[in-house]
Structures are given as C-alpha cells and as structure tokens.
C-alpha cells in the first residue's frame, strides 16, 4: 500500500537527541493517514545505531557513509513513496498534531505545493528559547533572508518530480537553496500560522560552528542562482567576519572600519562591483563610527578634567 505521508530523517552522531526525534514522529496523529518513516544515517559512531535498533519494527533505517546531509535527505526521499514529504533532522522534533495539520492544509488547498508552519528554537533539554522568525510568504523577502523553519516545512512529491532533489554540493544552505529554487520556479507556498516543529539550538550545530562558512556558501549559492548576491547577504558576511576578530561593537570606529572593509571586499568578491548603495551604506557606518568615537573621546576628557587634582 502506498503511504500518504513520508518523513525522512538524516542522521549523523546525534545519538543524544535522535530518540526524541523518533518519538516525536511515531507519536504523531495523522488523522487516519498512513505514514512511513525512514532514518538515513551516515555511519554514526555514537549511540545512534543502538537507538535505531530499538525501533526496527516501526522505523526503516540504513547506516552507511554518505556525502553529507543533502545526500542523506535525497536517499531518504528516493526510498519513500508518500505523496506528502516531511524532512526532520535528527536533533529536531515535531510538536503534537504537526503532521496532521500540514496534511489537512494540503488536502484543503490542492494548488499549494509547499506548506510551512511556525517553529520554536528549543534547547538541549527541549525547553523553548524563542520563536523562529517566520514570515508570510513573499519571494522578494525570501531573497533577503530564509524565514522558513525547515522542520516545519512539508511539500508534495510532485515538487520533487518537477524540481529535483537537494543540491548535494551544499552543506549549510541546502534547505534555503531548495526553497528559492522552488519559489522562483513557480511552486506555490503557503504559511500555516501554527507552531509545528522545534528547531534545536546547541553548541555543536554546524550553523554555530561554521557561521562564516555558512555565509560564504550562501553568497556563492545566491550568485549562482540569482546572478547577484543581495546586499543584505553581503553585510551579513561582513558581520560574520567581524565575529571572528578581536574587534567588538563597543569599539565604534574600529568596528565601523572593519565592517566597511569586509563589506566592500565581499561585494567585489561575489558581485564584482561596488554599487552606489553599498558605498553609501559604508559611508554612513564610517560617519556614525567616527561620531561615536569622538563622543567617547570627549567624555573621557571631561572625566579626566573633573578628577584632576587641583
């Protein structure tokens, strides 16, 4: 029997979280729909396989070396057959009723290809930290920021048949590139204003450990996809570069100079030019940095004069 919905979990050395991920899927109320679940593991060396073996009766899984997260997701999608697909990483969770809510929405809106709900950032102990910054769908806005919470996204298999699978060259922006590819190709997105999933934040996630690499990959991907990197991403990269330097925002003039230099360099590297808008933005930062620096110098001088022995 062909299942109604397929959930794919890519996995690698997330043994401390994957039990919670599996339980979050298996406990879903599907509204009578048949659900298939596959975990594609990249050859974990922690307790992951021990956890998977405990669920062999309800979870289909494989464990073998792969070429990264995108490769694992693609393997899972190819190995499943549900008309609706969800992708849940091995440290994320669905909240109760998530699968049913997404499927009900897609059943009621046959023209919609992709539905995405709201999400929460959660910590290592499943405690909510903050809402994921989700927004109503606008392609122009999606070019500037990824506001889809990946575990809260469900899409139809016809999307895969039309647009293909994830780009396996990508390691940080694989989901963002996919949403852009679909949206620019004419896929219909819809926002379901309901919290569907928890996206876990912990020190080992690659978006923390590889923040600069993430922004470099994003810029290269956007240049390839759009022909030009939106300026917001140029500035994001500059901020990521500064985070790796000893300069912080309290050092107003040095921070402004660093931000200006890295922004100009990034614009030249990825867009091969320095448009007036970038030059104006950089000039504003420098003026503001100089102004704040002069204020701090004057304040320091006044303090010295007041405390000087008479």
Report the pLDDT value the prediction gives residue 84, as an integer from 0 to 100: 98
Residues 259-269 have a mean pLDDT of 97
List b or e across 130-160, with b for residues whose CB sees 16 or more CB atoms inside 10 angstroms.
eebebeebeeeebbeebbbbbbbbbbbbebb
The tens digit of pLDDT for each residue in 141-191 reads 999 999 999 999 999 999 999 999 999 999 999 999 999 999 999 999 999
Report the pLDDT value the prediction gives residue 265, as an integer from 0 to 100: 97
Residues 199-227 have a mean pLDDT of 88
3-state DSSP assignment of residue 219: helix
Provide, for the chain, the percentages of residues in helix, strand and coil under a 3-state DSSP scheme, each rounded to the nearest 5: 50, 15, 35
Strand partners of residue 114: 155, 189
Helix-helix angle 231-243:211-226, to 10 degrees: 160
3-state DSSP assignment of residue 120: strand
Place 269 in a pLDDT band, splitting at 50, 70 and 90. very high
Report the pLDDT value the prediction gives residue 202, as an integer from 0 to 100: 82
Report the pLDDT value the prediction gives residue 142, as an integer from 0 to 100: 98
% of residues, the chain, pLDDT over 90: 84
Q: Residue 252 and residue 147: Cα distance in Å, rounded?
A: 30
What domains can you pick out in the chain, each with its CATH number? 5-207 (3.90.550.10), 210-307 (no CATH)
The tens digit of pLDDT for each residue in 59-72 reads 999 999 999 999 99
Report the pLDDT value the prediction gives residue 25, as an integer from 0 to 100: 98
Q: Residue 42 and residue 29: Cα distance in Å, rounded?
A: 29
Q: Residue 83 and residue 80: Cα distance in Å, rounded?
A: 9
The tens digit of pLDDT for each residue in 80-96 reads 999 999 999 999 999 99
Place 309 in a pLDDT band, splitting at 50, 70 and 90. low
Burial of 65 (0-12, 13-18, 19+ CB in 10 A): exposed
Report the pLDDT value the prediction gives residue 38, as an integer from 0 to 100: 98
Place 207 in a pLDDT band, splitting at 50, 70 and 90. low
């Amino acid at each position: 029997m062909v299942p109604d919905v397929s959930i794919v979990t890519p996995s690698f050395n997330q043994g401390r979280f994957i039990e919670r991920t599996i339980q979050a899927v298996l406990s879903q109320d599907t509204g009578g729909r048949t659900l298939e679940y596959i975990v594609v593991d990249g050859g974990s060396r922690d307790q992951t396989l021990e956890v998977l073996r405990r669920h062999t009766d309800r979870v289909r899984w494989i464990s073998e070396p792969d070429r990264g997260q995108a490769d694992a997701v693609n393997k899972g999608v190819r190995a499943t057959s549900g008309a609706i697909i969800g992708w849940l990483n091995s440290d994320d969770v669905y909240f109760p009723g998530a699968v049913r809510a997404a499927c009900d929405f897609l059943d009621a809106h046959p023209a919609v290809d992709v539905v995405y709900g709201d999400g929460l950032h959660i910590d290592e102990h499943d405690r909510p930290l903050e809402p994921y910054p989700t927004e109503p769908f606008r392609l122009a806005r999606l070019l500037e920021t990824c506001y889809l919470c990946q575990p809260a996204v469900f899409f139809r298999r016809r999307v895969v048949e039309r647009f293909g699978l994830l780009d396996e060259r990508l390691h940080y922006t694989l989901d963002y590139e996919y949403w852009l590819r679909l949206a620019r190709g004419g896929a219909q997105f819809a926002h379901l204003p309901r919290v569907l999933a928890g996206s876990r934040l912990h020190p080992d996630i690659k978006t923390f450990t590889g923040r600069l690499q993430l922004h470099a990959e994003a810029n290269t991907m956007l240049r390839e996809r759009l022909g030009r990197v939106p300026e917001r991403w140029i500035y994001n990269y500059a901020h990521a570069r500064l985070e790796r330097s000893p300069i912080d925002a309290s050092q107003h003039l040095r921070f402004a100079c660093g931000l200006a230099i890295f922004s100009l360099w990034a614009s030249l590297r990825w867009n091969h030019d320095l448009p007036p808008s970038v030059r104006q933005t950089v000039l504003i930062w420098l003026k503001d940095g100089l102004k704040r620096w002069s204020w701090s110098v004057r304040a320091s001088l006044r303090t010295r004069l007041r405390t000087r022995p008479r």
